[in-house]
Every structure is written in structure tokens, then in C-alpha cells.
Amino acid sequence: MGLKRLGRTQDPTILVLTSLTGGPKHGYSLIQDIGSMSGVTMGPGTLYGVLARLEEEGLVEALPAEDRRRPYRLTSLGAATLRERLETISNVARIGLARLRT
């Protein structure tokens, strides 16, 4: 699958979009940032598949290549989409944690 230690709750789309909230990044920088923030090792095949889909959906855009590296950045639609998904996840987590305490 290209992802090691990626559970069902760790959506590669959310990981890529979240990484790009820190500014434009090329593939290797995305892989490193995702690994450091989540402990997930994302392979290049998975990453570039996700990036292609996100670009097609207008959530990220490719910037002009720097040397042989092509950086990507989050679009305003991507930021709004990520915010909505993270708020939903946060709400579900809050409810789940509260229910576990009772």
C-alpha cells in the first residue's frame, strides 16, 4: 500500500493537507514532515497518488519546479476542506473520549 503503520484513522489526504499548512513543500519534504508529525512513513507512490488527486480536486496546486523538485501548496479550497474535516474528526474524538470516561 505504500504506507507503513497507517491505520484507518490516519487518512493520507489529511496528512498531506496538514503538512502543506506549514507552507509549500516538495515530495521529500512532505514525506519527512508527515513522518515527524504523525509517525507515518508514506512512500513516494502513495504520496504522488494523493497529490495528483488533490490537485485534480483543486485542494493543492503545483508550483514551478525548483531544480528537479516540484513544490506543492495548499489552495484556499484545500484549507477550507481541511478545516471542515479536522473539525469533524475533533468532534468525533471529543464525543468518543467522553463516552469512554463514563
Domain residue spans in the chain? 3-101
pLDDT for residue 84 is more than 80: yes
Q: DSSP readout, 13-72?
A: HHHHHHHHTTS-B-HHHHHHHHHHHH--EE-HHHHHHHHHHHHHTTSEEEPPPBTTB--E
3-101 CATH, one of 3.40.50.800, 3.40.50.9100, 1.10.10.10, 3.90.1300.10: 1.10.10.10
Three-class secondary structure of residue 9 per DSSP: coil
* Model confidence pLDDT, tens digit, residues 12-47: 999 999 999 999 999 999 999 999 999 999 999 999
pLDDT for residue 97 is more than 80: yes
pLDDT number for residue 9: 45
pTM score of the predicted model:
0.85
Report the phi/psi class of residue 86: left, alpha or beta, with left for phi > 0 and alpha for psi in -120 to 50: alpha
* Grid cell in block for residue 95: 464525543
Q: What is the DSSP letter of 4?
A: E
pLDDT number for residue 8: 43
Greater confidence, 38 or 1? Answer: 38
pLDDT number for residue 49: 96
